[in-house]
Structure 1
Amino acid sequence: MKIKFIRRTLAIYRRDKVAIFFSFLALLITLFIYVFFLRDNILQTMPKGIHAKQFVDLWMIAGLISIVGISASLAPFEQRIKDSQDNKQYDFIVNGQMSKLSMSVSYLIAAVIEASVSTLAFVVIAYAYLGVGDSSLLTLNMFIQIVGYALLLVVFGCLFFACITNLVNSISVFSSLSAIVGALTGFFSGSYIIFGELPSFMKKLVVEWPGYKIAGVIRSIMVKNVTIPAAYKPKLFKSLGIFRINGNVIKLLIVWLVILVALLILESIVDRKR
């Protein structure tokens, strides 16, 4: 029944062609916001001696990928809220077809699939945009690594929002949550305001967010082939949130994933005892 339930959730998603269109339009708008509003401002802050246009494009696209990976992870849970609001979940439980836990897992799996498709589509679009400008810095190996980390971010985002949406009981609240998430993801990825310009208390908060860590790793992968004078590199990379994967990043991700899985299990146990 779990597989059928996942198929049913995905079928509902595919059936709403208008929603799919606007979800992909939102991805393009995210890219357009950078190209027409953010790009020139960031270029003006770049030091001389580097290929500023190439560097900024790669840096910003990496940040946008992290934004999409998180924001796309929330949208699929709308169906979960609709089912709960319409009491459809109880129909499955009362009929003995599914348990609360298996239903939660099914929503989660469907969300990962939907968010992965959206994020992968954006990565392809972004890569095409970069390729039009200068494809010499783009490689297949880079693309594979970016997709891998983007999907890791999707898994984290889906687990995170699976916990959050347990507290949401109406579509109106979900819509408000979506608006808040859309605004915050840009800041927490260090894209709309670069890390070096954030207040000290915000820096302490942002560095503990896995979305920022994974964005930093994707940025490191994308800008590694850009020529940057050694004198600028350490300070510039720290200010812009660029760093390689290391033990601290892995430890943070593991801790977050364990906490989120534990919360989901606890929520299912509590629901079963109600």
Structure 2
Amino acid sequence: MLTVCYRNLLLYFRNKSEVFFSLLAALISFILYVAFLQDTIGGDWKNLPGHAEFLDLWLIGGTLGITAITTTLSSLSQKVEDYEKSTENDFLLTGISRFSLNFGYVLSAAVIGFIMQIVVFLVMFLYFHFVDDLSISFSKLGFLIILMLLGSLLNAVVNAVIMRFVYNRNTLSAVSTVIGTVSGFLVGAYIPLGILPSFAQFLVKLTPGAYVSSLYRQVLLDDNLKNFFQFFLNVNNLLKRWVFS
């Protein structure tokens, strides 16, 4: 099992193009925000206190959710290739059980998802730290690492179930394209989930990505949510006093 996991890790990280394309959806989310959305949304919220930090942390949470989905899926594509080339049968001849073999694929996908989330987080945090003076407490980082582990394992299991119905590279390419495209919508990175149609919201609720990214944001934005929405409460109270005085 550990040998299969180690072998899949080597194959994944040796293939630079696979690493890049597994991160493409996360990179698109980040680049779109930096190039277009940051100034647009930030301009609308510029009068609100701490809006830049709030939006930066919101994007980080969503992008980590995308990374957990796409990188674990890309890693599990090795299972489809091994099945198509009958490499799985070679492994089974060594005496390894099918459960251990499949668990090796899932374990390697979870490890890859965890590593790539750390890489993406460091890149985004360093950028926003120098641009917007963003800071994150060590206590939040500890919770975030735990969530990265759980998110990677959860998405690896879900993607492993999907891979059970994929038997060739053509189908794998189509599935990877679809999931990579919709992953940004599943985690609310492109548009808020609340403005999606009811049926689309129902579908999003069936996927773990939305819940994982929500947990990321809950940890990252804990203090910011209190301060940010306290501003609206104060404004609302002032308006009530002014209207009814």
Q: Does 1:73 align with 2:82?
A: no
Deviation for aligned residue 1:180: 0.7
Structure 2: distance between partners of 1:171 and 1:120: 29
The SS at the match of 1:167 is coil
Amino acid at match of 2:53: Q
Deviation for aligned residue 1:27: 4.4
Structure 2: distance between partners of 1:50 and 1:196: 23
Q: Which residue of structure 1 aligns with residue 33 of structure 2?
A: 34
What do residues 125-165 of structure 1 show as CA deviations (whole Å, max 9, x unaligned)?
12112211344642122222222212211111100011110
Q: Which has the higher contact order (CA 8 A, sep 6+)?
A: 2
Structure 2: distance between partners of 1:99 and 1:145: 35
Deviation for aligned residue 1:208: 4.2
Structure 1: distance between partners of 2:198 and 2:24: 35
Amino acid at match of 1:127: F
Match of 1:129 among 127, 138, 151: 127
Match of 1:178 among 157, 176, 179: 176
Q: Which residue of structure 2 aligns with residue 265 of structure 1?
A: none
Structure 1: distance between partners of 2:26 and 2:95: 37
Structure 2: distance between partners of 1:105 and 1:204: 30
RMSD: 2.3
Asked if the contact 1:116/1:154 (under 8 Å) is kept, the reply is yes
Amino acid at match of 1:92: F
Deviation for aligned residue 1:22: 4.9
**Percent identity between the two aligned chains:** 26
Pick which of 10-19 and 98-107 moved more.
Answer: 10-19
Asked if the contact 2:26/2:63 (under 8 Å) is kept, the reply is no
Structure 1: distance between partners of 2:45 and 2:194: 13
TM superposition score normalised by structure 1 = 0.75
**Count of matched residue positions in the alignment of Structure 1 and Structure 2:** 231
Pick which of 127-136 and 187-196 moved more.
Answer: 127-136
Q: Which residue of structure 1 aligns with residue 160 of structure 2?
A: 162
Q: Which residue of structure 2 aligns with residue 214 of structure 1?
A: 212
Gapped regions of structure 2 (runs ≥ 5):
234-245
Asked if the contact 2:147/2:216 (under 8 Å) is kept, the reply is yes
The SS at the match of 1:232 is helix
Asked if the contact 1:65/1:119 (under 8 Å) is kept, the reply is yes
Amino acid at match of 1:228: F
Amino acid at match of 2:141: F
Deviation for aligned residue 1:89: 0.9
Gapped regions of structure 1 (runs ≥ 5):
234-274
TM superposition score normalised by structure 2 = 0.83
- Residue 190 to residue 81, structure 1, CA distance change in 2 (3 Å): same
- Residue 182 to residue 26, structure 1, CA distance change in 2 (3 Å): closer
